[in-house]
């Protein structure tokens, strides 16, 4: 896991053609807006969160965020334990995000 600043996260994400953006916030938080093309898996689902992670491709690079960076850091740790090789935590979370935010359909 790597903690990346907003600037580094965005720059690295832009250049990464093997990237997946993962939002680990609650559904209520996601309803307020999401980073474009992110997939959503709520970390508060407990074992359900693990089941959802197990369905993902572990060869991808995961750019993980939450509201402030704490839950996404936990999520990256869990993912590393599940043998995900490359996870990147967005320091400051979506609260500090300067890029686009869209409403989920």
Q: Which two tokens stand for residue 41?
A: 């898996």
Which residues are catalytic, by number? 66
As a whole number of angstroms, the distance between CA 46 and CA 85 comes to 21
Mean pLDDT of 83-90: 97
At residue 65, the 3 state secondary structure works out as strand
Determine the pLDDT at residue 9.
Answer: 94
Asked if residue 104 has pLDDT above 70, the reply is no
Q: Residue 46 corresponds to which tokens in the numbers above?
A: 């407990």
Q: Residue 74: what pLDDT?
A: 97
Domains and CATH numbers, the chain: 2-96 (3.40.250.10)
What contacts 82, CB < 8 A, 6 or more positions away? 50, 53, 54, 58
Determine phi and psi for 12, rounding to 5 degrees. -65, -40
What's the average model confidence in pLDDT over 15-33? 96
Specify the pTM: 0.95
Looking at the predicted structure, is the pLDDT value of residue 21 above 70?
A: yes
Q: Per-residue pLDDT for 99 more than 90? A: no
């Amino acid at each position: 896991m790597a903690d990346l600043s907003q600037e580094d996260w965005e720059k690295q994400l832009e250049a990464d053609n093997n990237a997946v953006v993962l939002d680990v916030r609650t559904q209520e938080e996601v309803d307020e807006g999401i980073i474009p093309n992110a997939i959503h898996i709520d970390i508060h689902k407990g074992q359900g969160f693990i089941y959802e992670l197990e369905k993902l491709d572990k060869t991808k690079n995961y750019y993980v965020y939450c509201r402030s960076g704490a839950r996404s850091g936990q999520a990256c740790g869990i993912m590393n334990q599940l043998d995900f090789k490359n996870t990147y935590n967005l320091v400051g979370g979506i609260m500090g995000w300067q890029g686009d935010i869209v409403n989920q359909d």
